[in-house]
Amino acid sequence: AQRVTQPEKLLSVFKGAPVELKCNYSYSGSPELFWYVQYSRQRLQLLLRHISRESIKGFTADLNKGETSFHLKKPFAQEEDSAMYYCALSGGNNAGNMLTFGGGTRLMVKP
């Protein structure tokens, strides 16, 4: 079975502070990991995926297979980063068509 855990329901930081949103997963094979974001009154949208190795809006995430983690980081938070963030996993084979989401972390960036 595949599972994604986001241990923090709420993360509150000041503008300019570093941000790390934690994500741990369990999956026996080789997963693909994603971060989705939902800004206020907007739909859920893809932020980044580990396979792309991109930095999007200053955010990066590194897949650590040893620790089964995919934490999302940004060195300097901005107020517009305030949103709900979901970590998600896609497995291989016949599980490759579904996303398994974590419970989400609400990021609040205070001025």
Partner 1 sequence: ETGVTQSPTHLIKTRGQQVTLRCSSQSGHNTVSWYQQALGQGPQFIFQYYREEENGRGNFPPRFSGLQFPNYSSELNVNALELDDSALYLCASSLAPTVRNTEAFFGQGTRLTVV
Q: Which of 20, 14, 47 is nearest to 33 (CA)?
A: 47
- For 44, phi then psi, to 5°, come to -65, 135
User: Per CB under 8 A, which region of 11-19, 57-65, 72-80, 102-110 contacts partner 1?
Assistant: 102-110
Size of the site for partner 1 (CB under 8 A): 25
- Asked if residue 24 binds partner 1 (CB under 8 A), the reply is no
Which 38-97 positions form the footprint of partner 1 (CB under 8 A)? 43-46, 51, 86, 88, 90, 92, 94-97
Footprint of partner 1 (CB under 8 A): 4, 6, 9, 32, 34, 43-46, 51, 86, 88, 90, 92, 94-104
